[in-house]
Structure 1
Amino acid sequence: MVETILDYLLKKENVRYEITENNLILIYPEQKSRVSDVKSRILVNDATQQKRTLTGIVVDDRGEPVIGANVMEKGTINGNITDVNGKFTLSVLNNAVLQVSYIGYLSQEVAMGNQTTLTITLRKDTKALEEVVVVGYGTQKKGNLTGSIATLKAEEMVVAPVASTTNALAGRLPGLISLQSSGQPGSDAASLSIRGFGGTLVIVDGIEAGFNTIDPNQIETISILKDGSASIYGSRAGNGVILVTTKRGKEQKPTITLNMSYTLQGVTNMPKTVNAGQYAEMAREEWIQSGRPEATAPYTAEQIRKYYESTDPQYPNTDWYDVLIRDWAPQQQHNLSVGGGSDKIKYYGFLGYMDQQTMFKKNGGDYNRYNLQSNIDAKITESLTFQLDLSAIFNSSVFSTRGLSAGDNTVWQDLWNTLPTYPATLPDPTKISWADGMGTGGAHVSSNYELFGTNRNNSQNLKGTGVLTYKFKAIEGLSAKLFVNYMRDYSKNSTFSKPVKFYRYDVLSDTYILAGSLGSQAQMRVSQSQSSMLTTQLSLSYDRYFNVDHHLALMALYEGIDYGSEWFNAGRDGYMSTAIEQLFAGNSETATNGGAANEMGRSSFVGRLNYSFKNKYLLEATLRADASAKFTPEKRWGYFPSVSLGWRLSEEGFLNTVSVIDDLKLRASYGSSGYDGVGNFQYLSGYAISGNYLLGGSTQQGIQSTGMANPDLTWEKIKIYNAGIDWSLLSRTLYGTAEIFYRTRSGIPGNRLATLPNTFGASLPSENLNSLNDRGFELVLGTVQTYGDFTYDINGNISWSRAKWDHYEEQERTDPDENRLYTASGKWTDRRIGYRSDGLFTSQAEIDALSFDQDLRGNSTLRPGDIRYIDVNKDEKLDWRDQVVLGPGTTPHWMSGINLNVKYKNFDLSTLFQGAFGYYTHVVLLHGNKFNSEQIYNLRWTESNNDAHALIPRLGGANTNNLTSDYRLKSAGYLRIKTVAIGYNLPSELLNQANIQQARIYLSGTNLLTFDKLRKYNIDPEMPDGQGGYYYPQQRTISIGLNVSF
């Protein structure tokens, strides 16, 4: 210890020293006269180095002891924690300064002076309640919210790099249902639904827009409005609202932030393909078990052996999965931002780039995105401020014409419909191997899809917003705002398809045989579309306190939105050369084109009132009037009110002295909204161009009625009721929220059931016929604790919701079984109907002993290995009357998330567990009678695997095996380790030398492990219903990244 002190003191003085027994020798060769100066530095003042014992107590502003508060000697690691009585004892140096902190309280520094006993009072930190939350057309303090609003901060979204912003939300917001059905670059967005209501309105910086392509690092906060608080957005908000707010400049020195990450993407779960021997074995097995002659089976035992050995070139063995798919695909994301400003002007700029590659080795599909943003806030005068926001998003991708565009999964179908008994390549690399499944001509898989042609996609999103705000000097609290935004979307797709020929190769004769083709000539198709939206808002706001206790806020707003869109397409065939991918190079006689344009508009008036008394009794009321051109002038306007109340019990006299309770609030709300999701102008009779007719020796264009007009068609009406309680306890170390809701929808458009004569010439119009209701609950629980340098925050959320039809327009049914199975009114909206199974038959004796006719042919088609069903109604036959409700549909009823955040000194750990339960999927592994799934091979019933509970029935089984039943309808519920991130913040001592404000390196992963019942099938639980391997699989990612601020 002495040597360490001497090294520190003498280093800058160029003085050496020696310690011998009880002597300290200083050696200063050049300036010996300075030895006395050095001695004075070593002879430390005894008074300041002496220690004494200090005792004390830490209490809150009510005088109650604070248990577990941290008491540290500033600048040291010397510290202690208060006991159950709030007391502490600590040995400190004279003139020490104590740092006292505890979660939920403001930290304090206390100079010890000459005292030996201290009483330290910590004041509550009300920052959580004072935090500003983005709501419809404005902001509110979190403590004064009366609606059901959940928020997510920027730092929670960027824990791990994600390609799509929507994928960062799963499990983090209570009531938000997220399902990501595809991992395809550029099309991997999750579908979002608030409380299972359906498509959700998204508002980005005040305008209706998508946010999937926004870089998560651009976002400041996300709020979701789940109850009547969404009614302020009227007819578009019946299913709730997601509010996205991007980052803005702050009053601070310029800060430059650089984020860089490199990611590897791999498949979470996906069926694998079999080898050639396994396929041939199953093909023969299926042929024989289906009752066909063994002598004509597609493969002999000798051929199967040769396919397994894979030594004879006439018996190839191709692993198409390995040929087409790589284990890991790279992704990189980089963004740079700068922000800062003064009282007069604030600015923020952002530049982001992402390159995401596909799992395919030679099929293109790589996706690139550029994000640009610039936000400026200027104070022109003390009364007038101006805001200018500009942003742009550019997306591009290039891939093969063989089906890897958004929503097109032809390549995956190729993979599963192609047999391993065909070679992937031929000796002549210019020729494509014929690899068609079972000779049906349905699959055209290739080891090089680039030969098929290219599909190029480009899109742009441009936005500009200007905001003027004026505060009236004559009337305190009154301000006016003009908001104008223009947004333009542009997209272009060009597809150049080349004719492709497929060959079989005869090894013995070294000859190529033309086996098939795809297209007879090169062709090009080009389509372009663009849309625009102009949003104008003019508002007056009044916000003022009266006599301290009364707070009143009023807002009146007009909003007008004008939509416009247009598109056109063109194409040509007959290209003499595939080297020129331009329209002009095609045959002009084959030219085609088309196009259309439309316009639409909305006008709305909005009013809002907020009142609070002593921040204890809270009231909010809104009213919105929307006009829609889809209805007659008499029914054009819809009026949508809402009201919500809040009561902060913790501010009442009978509770504000209870030290355990920091905040306790009850709230309730009612809101209404409408929906105009019907075709345009259905109140008018119309005609559409349809068909050509030969009249008078020439072809004439025909028209057809679009259906009967309905002038009574009007708004669908939506009402939602919500009640909740929010609490914070024990100095904000325990917090939570619980709420219930009930929603009704009436006047849902539908068509009346009626039999019309063929001579009627039109269809019945839409009417406001149907109605349903939703109900559910949400629960959030969390705790945050700090022990010295160690802090953890763990919180979880769970929600449940489901919908039931009140009335569904349908035929009247008198048969009790028809009514039980098919009548929808009064029943859940997502029932799945099918048969109950009882395992598989394992012997002919079991079939012979069956007490009912399962196949309606005296059970003559049944064999061991077939599915055994249950005769539910005991009528000695299996028919539609034996069906039952097997379970719910494809949307989860239960959603959950558990977040764990840990910090220790410079290290941090963040983990998210995300779960979805209460939904089912139809497991499909067999596509088009192609037995090329490894799961089929491993899980199927065979004579040697005579298991009544085998997961796949016998190949070539009875037709009854294809009935919808619980044998293939499986629970898709899962619990997923969604995100894990470990980070390290470099020490400030090191960063200061390089003028770096902050630097963090991290390692993260997403979708690392999933616990579910579908793993045995190698199917991801978020895969679309019944798709099996026909879809681009969900991705598992591993990332390394760096965040630096200057």
Structure 2
Amino acid sequence: MKKKSTYGIAIPILNINLFRKMKLILLFVAISFLQLSAVESYAQNAKINLSLSDVTLEEAIKTIEANTQFVFFFNNSAVDMTKHVNLDVKNGNIKEVLNQILSSYKYRIEDNKIVLLGAVQQDGKITGVVSDAFGPIAGANVVVKGTTNGTITDMNGNFSLDAPKGAKLQVSYIGYITKELTVGDQTNYTIQLAEDSQALEEVVVVGYGTEKKVNVIGSIAQIGSEKLENRSTPQLSNALTGQMAGVTVIQRSGRPGNSGGEIRVRGVGTFTNADDDKAATKSDALVLIDGIPGKLNDVSSEDVESISVLKDASTAAIYGSRAANGVILVTTKTGREGKVSVGYNGYVGFNTPTALPEFADTWQYATLYNEAVGREAYTQEEIQKFRDGSDPDHYANARYLDEVFSRKGLQTGHDVTVNGGNAQNRYMVSFGYLKQNGIVEKNDYQRYNARVNLINELLPGLKLTTRLSGMYGNRKEPMAPGGDDADNMLVLIQKALRFPGLTPTILSDGTFGAGRELHGTPAGWIKSDSFYENPEFSMNANVRLDYNPIKDLQLSAIGAYTYTNSEERTYRSTMKLSGDRVLGPSELKHKMGKTIYKTFQATAEYNKKFGGHSFGILAGYSWEQEDYRYVQGSRDKFPGNDLPYLNAGSPDNQKSVGTGNAWAIQSGFGRLRYNFNERYLFESTVRYDGSSRFPKSKKFGFFPSLAAGWRLSEENFFKENESLGFISNLKLKASWGRLGNQNIGNYPYQSVYELGQNYPFGDTYTQGAAVTTAVDPTIKWEETETIDGGLEAILWNGLLSVNASYFTRRTYDILYKPSGSVSSVLGQKISEMNTGELKNFGWEFEVGHRNKIGDVSYNVNANLSIIKNKLTTLGVGNVEQLNGLVGNGSDLFVGYPINMYYGYLSDGVFLDENDIKGWHDQSKVTPNPQPGDIRYKDISGPDGVPDGKIDPNYDRVYLGSRIPKFTFGLNLGVEYKGVDLSVLLQGVAGVTGMLDGFAGWAFRGDGNIQKWQAEGRFDPANPTRYPAYPRLEDLSNSVTPNIVSSDFWVQDASYIRLKNIQLGYSFPKKMLQAAKITNLRVYVQAENPLCWNKYKPGWDPEINTSGNYYPILATYTIGVNFKF
């Protein structure tokens, strides 16, 4: 090696004071800068004249050193000194010299020293083939690590890439373990990737345990926490929308604290009566939170580890009596081994309605009302005052709906999670806070969540799991004052929707306007002291003990206690209106309900493997009991509005009422699983339930299931076929099972006396008791039988997954109050009985794709459900309805779906008198038809053929159902160097809705008129056959021909909604290390920002309302989450 000197300065500063240290440091820095300046000056100014021909590099370097002040430093092994070079420089600088003799080497000029760094690596073209055990892999990523230089393999696994010697080559493909290798002298490479078995090892949560996904035979859909976190959905149910095939979520309202979606698993499994107090929940799935029944919308999405939906009987039958409409298993997060980790997610945003109807100005209203009634109800002078605003106290142009929906409701959420522990003890503690301001003033919802999950290994083989959770929520809403029937906020909104703004909310003198009904205006009511609040508190304690006395045997015991307390306080204040009118009296109603739920479960599970055989046996016992207590009190005539407490009201009209009830279920259950080499799969479950809701002779129900599966991909003939090597898993499956439903009242088979009945004795009435309901003493379980068959495939080790299923679901002995009433004979109501049969059947499809190309990772997941619903039998006591109900009725017709619309088919409107005379006789529907009235089609007659007459007995038909035939979702995600984007689209098709009442009919009950009605109405001066709205008429009397149920009012309620779009950025981990932050992500998102549909303007098809509603909300937020 060329000799080289080492030099430096050793300064003994350890024992000198700080001032001297600072002076020496400054002196050293100054000398360094002066030295650098001097060197740069020489290197830049030195002029060299040299000419050398065909000399070795060593000779050239010695010549330069001899003629200049430059000195070369190098390693002999890294530089070929025998290489011949040429040099010809006249009055040039050192860089010109070096570029001629060192073109193949890197160098650095330091001081007057020239350091040779080694040879320049020249990019060489390398080629190769990427394969696995079965052959070439197409689409694999081949990248020079740390650069953007890369390519993908072709259909035969081949690639070609420019890469320097020594570079790190990174080869990756979804479903395989990434491989790295160093580029050497060779130019062709054969690279074999090993399978990553993660896709085949995925575990899903099932009833009373877990199971490898590839071995699950039944129909289970599961989503993980990554699909739920960071969503600004106050109600967890709405986060499931569009995520899973066969799971339909319909959001009927955006009302804060009460906006949760209706979840239907594989259609609507039963039908209910409008007066049934369980009508809203009878078709709901059973929700189990860590194995205990609970409310899905009380759980914070940040606490959820996974949600599994059990869709068929083979998976749900182990829950027997409450699983007829599916089971939703929510598993909350638990602690993980390691040091303490703290996570935070917070967001803030605002809400706006997805759609709002637009109304005509009041001068237009007055003009069109004159047209509707055929007389001058409003003079031209009055119309002008409405138009020019010259007398706003008497001729206003108020926008009641805009005044009610007056704010962009702020929404914020904060969640903190702490977890950690060791192998013996782990913990997870979380706290959550949600505040949602509605778009209506005084309409707010707050919720606090707390959860503690502990896992303690008490002894070897003995584990204690403790889960404690609490929730406090409070919903507040405005109310109408005393003297009005608007006893909840939805009616208040309906009145804002209904009435034209002819009088102002507040007059010029500051008093409140009297409104259309002389009871004030909706926006004025909001400003009153009236209010509604609904505080609710719940607490759950769930303790589980697992013991393994011997290998393969686990004994488990679970005890849980849930306490729920719910209150409702409704205060309707007095309120002074213009003209000295006072609304009142003030009134307060205070309701309190308390529920205590207790359960004990015990299971024994034995799992054994020997040879290729694997089997598991589970046996269990379950006991549940729920007690409910309710009390209500009310008083009126309060001395003022500042003391809304019962003891401040007058006792003259005080009222009180109380009640209580209880129910219990006792069950035994079991499950047998078997598989051979994870190739042939079998599972059977049984459950025997006894319910207090049925008489002794019918108390118990038996609910079995059978399922079998065949993994063809595990067969030798399959594995040996190289052409099938891309199929990682292929499974055929089939199942059968029976489930039960007992979701009715607590005492349907018992004849009970109801107090508060009046008996006449002469001229007076005496209070007493009476049997008011006729009961069926033989009432029994409603049952559902399901048959399911399907195929599951994983291709290219998880690059693509495909699931397809066909199912039938038959519900019989439906618990229903028959329509054939006996009240006219016995003077009694009729209770539930077993009657009717319903069938749901259809297909489900799921396709998933994920991949990584270079630094870009992406995934696509799509699902589609095709579900048909059909009533097969009406049953005892039910009578086919001949008269269709206008609006959202529940007509039942054999061969058609439930929740259907039934009415006439229309064919435009009458144009003139000649048109009326030439049409069918529809006098039974339209006694005196006029131009602009709806024409109805002649469908049939007494002989089954059209008879030229429109008759309600023969000419009404099925018009559609509110149950969607098609439900679909599309989930898209992409990530690139910390930037991530996710998009969720969902929708329904093959579904109808109806705009009726104040939402669809102009001038209904002194109501308003919307712009689409005004602009699309039948115009006698320019008649058209198919206007958007028939002739205008006064609909104070609801019995008018044009608003009978017909397809004129039925709307296509199909839609595609952009449910969620989220853009985030995760900061590089190296940047966060100094702050000891392990993860930091910021994001913006929108929930429900867009909806494509054919519904009438201003109305969201998902709501399907007659005007009594709260709009669905679009939410826009910005958030941050981090962990440290």
What TM-score results when the alignment is normalised by the length of structure 1? 0.89
Contact 2:486 2:492 in 1 (8 A): no
State whether structure 2 residue 425 is matched by structure 1 residue 354: no
**Residue 490 of structure 1 aligns with which residue?**
565
Within 5 Å, give how 1:676-695 maps onto structure 2.
676-693=742-759, 695=761
After superposing the two structures, state which structure 1 stretch, 938-947 or 99-108, moved more.
Answer: 938-947
2:806 is aligned, of 740, 753, 762, to 740
**Residue 461 of structure 2 aligns with which residue?**
383
**How far is the alpha carbon of 1:464 from its aligned partner?**
1.1
Contact 2:479 2:487 in 1 (8 A): no
State whether structure 2 residue 384 is matched by structure 1 residue 298: no
1:679-713 deviation line (CA, Å, top 9, x unaligned): 43444443222413355998643221254554432
Within 5 Å, give how 1:523-534 maps onto structure 2.
523-534=587-598
**How far is the alpha carbon of 1:778 from its aligned partner?**
0.6
After superposing the two structures, state which structure 1 stretch, 867-876 or 138-147, moved more.
Answer: 867-876
**How far is the alpha carbon of 1:816 from its aligned partner?**
12
After superposing the two structures, state which structure 1 stretch, 874-883 or 260-269, moved more.
Answer: 874-883
Contact 2:994 2:1104 in 1 (8 A): no
Larger radius of gyration: 2
Gaps of 5+ in 1: 1-9, 26-34, 289-293, 504-512
2:308 is aligned, of 223, 246, 252, to 223
State whether structure 2 residue 251 is matched by structure 1 residue 251: no
**Residue 699 of structure 2 aligns with which residue?**
636
SS of 1:308's partner is helix
Contact 2:398 2:503 in 1 (8 A): yes
- From the superposition, tell whether residues 22 and 138 of structure 1 become closer, same or farther in structure 2 (CA, over 3 Å): farther
Contact 2:230 2:302 in 1 (8 A): no
- Give the aligned residue type for 2:932: G
Counterpart Cα distance in 2 of 1:816 and 1:703: 37
SS of 2:964's partner is coil
1:968 is aligned, of 1041, 1046, 1049, to 1049
Counterpart Cα distance in 1 of 2:1080 and 2:258: 32
- From the superposition, tell whether residues 729 and 388 of structure 1 become closer, same or farther in structure 2 (CA, over 3 Å): same
After superposing the two structures, state which structure 1 stretch, 753-762 or 794-803, moved more.
Answer: 753-762
Counterpart Cα distance in 2 of 1:480 and 1:554: 12
2:533 is aligned, of 456, 462, 477, to 456
SS of 2:497's partner is helix
Counterpart Cα distance in 1 of 2:487 and 2:709: 46
State whether structure 2 residue 1032 is matched by structure 1 residue 938: no
Contact 2:892 2:898 in 1 (8 A): no
**Residue 1012 of structure 1 aligns with which residue?**
1093
Counterpart Cα distance in 2 of 1:913 and 1:753: 40
**Residue 670 of structure 1 aligns with which residue?**
736
Contact 2:145 2:170 in 1 (8 A): yes
- From the superposition, tell whether residues 758 and 990 of structure 1 become closer, same or farther in structure 2 (CA, over 3 Å): closer
Counterpart Cα distance in 2 of 1:1002 and 1:279: 46
Contact 1:373 1:389 in 2 (8 A): yes
1:20-45 deviation line (CA, Å, top 9, x unaligned): 475479xxxxxxxxx99979999575
**Residue 390 of structure 2 aligns with which residue?**
311
SS of 1:828's partner is coil
Contact 2:345 2:1122 in 1 (8 A): yes
1:401-428 deviation line (CA, Å, top 9, x unaligned): 2299997511112202332221221233
**Residue 1058 of structure 2 aligns with which residue?**
977
State whether structure 2 residue 998 is matched by structure 1 residue 923: no
Contact 1:272 1:321 in 2 (8 A): no
- From the superposition, tell whether residues 812 and 233 of structure 1 become closer, same or farther in structure 2 (CA, over 3 Å): closer
Within 5 Å, give how 1:338-487 maps onto structure 2.
338-360=418-440, 362=441, 364-402=442-480, 408-429=489-510, 431-436=511-516, 440=517, 444-447=521-524, 449-472=526-549, 475-487=550-562
State whether structure 2 residue 124 is matched by structure 1 residue 59: no
- Give the aligned residue type for 1:1000: R
Counterpart Cα distance in 2 of 1:44 and 1:202: 72
SS of 1:899's partner is strand
- Give the aligned residue type for 1:847: I
Counterpart Cα distance in 2 of 1:399 and 1:881: 45
**Residue 108 of structure 1 aligns with which residue?**
179
Contact 2:803 2:846 in 1 (8 A): yes
Counterpart Cα distance in 2 of 1:582 and 1:243: 42
- Give the aligned residue type for 1:641: P
Counterpart Cα distance in 1 of 2:1121 and 2:512: 47
SS of 1:302's partner is helix
Contact 1:836 1:965 in 2 (8 A): yes
**Residue 274 of structure 2 aligns with which residue?**
none
- Give the aligned residue type for 1:593: S
- Give the aligned residue type for 1:309: D
- Give the aligned residue type for 2:605: S
State whether structure 2 residue 257 is matched by structure 1 residue 186: yes
**Residue 1123 of structure 2 aligns with which residue?**
1045
State whether structure 2 residue 270 is matched by structure 1 residue 201: no
Counterpart Cα distance in 1 of 2:610 and 2:224: 33
- From the superposition, tell whether residues 671 and 415 of structure 1 become closer, same or farther in structure 2 (CA, over 3 Å): same
SS of 1:446's partner is helix
After superposing the two structures, state which structure 1 stretch, 158-167 or 379-388, moved more.
Answer: 158-167
Contact 2:661 2:746 in 1 (8 A): no
State whether structure 2 residue 849 is matched by structure 1 residue 772: no
Counterpart Cα distance in 2 of 1:412 and 1:812: 36
2:599 is aligned, of 519, 523, 535, to 535
SS of 2:243's partner is coil
Counterpart Cα distance in 2 of 1:789 and 1:369: 40
**Residue 74 of structure 1 aligns with which residue?**
145
- From the superposition, tell whether residues 870 and 696 of structure 1 become closer, same or farther in structure 2 (CA, over 3 Å): closer
Counterpart Cα distance in 2 of 1:393 and 1:22: 79
Counterpart Cα distance in 2 of 1:739 and 1:40: 79
- Give the aligned residue type for 2:769: I
**How far is the alpha carbon of 1:149 from its aligned partner?**
0.4
Counterpart Cα distance in 2 of 1:812 and 1:162: 41
- From the superposition, tell whether residues 715 and 986 of structure 1 become closer, same or farther in structure 2 (CA, over 3 Å): same
State whether structure 2 residue 970 is matched by structure 1 residue 898: yes
After superposing the two structures, state which structure 1 stretch, 657-666 or 444-453, moved more.
Answer: 444-453
SS of 1:238's partner is coil
**How far is the alpha carbon of 1:625 from its aligned partner?**
1.0
**How far is the alpha carbon of 1:56 from its aligned partner?**
2.8
Counterpart Cα distance in 1 of 2:338 and 2:215: 28
1:63-92 deviation line (CA, Å, top 9, x unaligned): x01112112233333333223322333444
Contact 1:459 1:489 in 2 (8 A): yes
Gaps of 5+ in 2: 1-28, 45-91, 97-106, 270-282, 885-889, 941-945
- From the superposition, tell whether residues 537 and 147 of structure 1 become closer, same or farther in structure 2 (CA, over 3 Å): same
Counterpart Cα distance in 2 of 1:299 and 1:432: 24
- Give the aligned residue type for 1:726: E
Counterpart Cα distance in 2 of 1:341 and 1:754: 64
**How far is the alpha carbon of 1:460 from its aligned partner?**
0.8
**Residue 509 of structure 1 aligns with which residue?**
none
**Residue 577 of structure 2 aligns with which residue?**
502
SS of 2:1075's partner is coil
SS of 2:387's partner is helix
**Residue 334 of structure 1 aligns with which residue?**
414
What TM-score results when the alignment is normalised by the length of structure 2? 0.83
**Residue 721 of structure 1 aligns with which residue?**
787
After superposing the two structures, state which structure 1 stretch, 717-726 or 67-76, moved more.
Answer: 67-76
**How far is the alpha carbon of 1:490 from its aligned partner?**
0.8
- From the superposition, tell whether residues 543 and 826 of structure 1 become closer, same or farther in structure 2 (CA, over 3 Å): same
Counterpart Cα distance in 2 of 1:160 and 1:522: 42
Contact 1:414 1:445 in 2 (8 A): yes
- Give the aligned residue type for 2:388: E
1:987-1021 deviation line (CA, Å, top 9, x unaligned): 2232223222111111211222212111x432100
Contact 1:53 1:92 in 2 (8 A): yes
Contact 2:1066 2:1079 in 1 (8 A): yes
**How far is the alpha carbon of 1:760 from its aligned partner?**
5.3
Counterpart Cα distance in 1 of 2:291 and 2:486: 31
1:790 is aligned, of 815, 836, 856, to 856
Counterpart Cα distance in 1 of 2:928 and 2:150: 81
- Give the aligned residue type for 2:303: Q
